[in-house]
């Protein structure tokens, strides 16, 4: 049995290809993003990760940011598909 990632599990919940969000909901989801402080922290952690300088706590924090980013990407994929469906003739 293979190990399933959180992203794979969430994609089974969110179903990004199912374009079933209202246009308002889709636009709201597309407006979600990390704030400036979070983006700065992600950049710092990413640089330290490339240099293999992360502490164990930083590695765990970076992994959490990546998981949240993947979750947001799934929802935004669904939002884009939903808006495209509503624009289609």
Q: Identify whether 1 is part of a domain.
A: no
Full pLDDT tens readout for the chain, 89 residues? 788 888 788 888 888 888 899 999 999 999 999 999 999 999 999 999 999 999 999 999 999 999 999 999 999 999 999 999 988 76
28 lies in some domain: yes
CB neighbours of residue 23 within 10 Å: 13
**Residue 21, in any domain of the structure:** yes
Report in angstroms the alpha-carbon separations of 76 from 11, 16, 30, 32, 87: 12, 8, 6, 9, 16
Count of structural domains, the chain: 1
Whether 57 maps to a domain, the answer reads yes
Q: Does this model's pTM top 0.85? A: no
Which residues span the domain enclosing 24?
Answer: 6-87
């Amino acid at each position: 049995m293979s190990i399933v990632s959180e992203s794979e599990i969430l994609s089974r919940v969110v179903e990004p290809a199912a374009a079933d969000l209202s246009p308002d909901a889709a636009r709201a989801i597309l407006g979600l993003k990390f704030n400036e402080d979070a983006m700065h922290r992600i950049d710092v952690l990413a640089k330290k990760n490339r240099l293999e300088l992360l502490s164990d706590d930083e590695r765990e924090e970076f992994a959490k940011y990546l998981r949240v980013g993947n979750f947001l990407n799934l929802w935004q994929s669904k939002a884009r598909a939903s808006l495209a469906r509503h624009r289609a003739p």
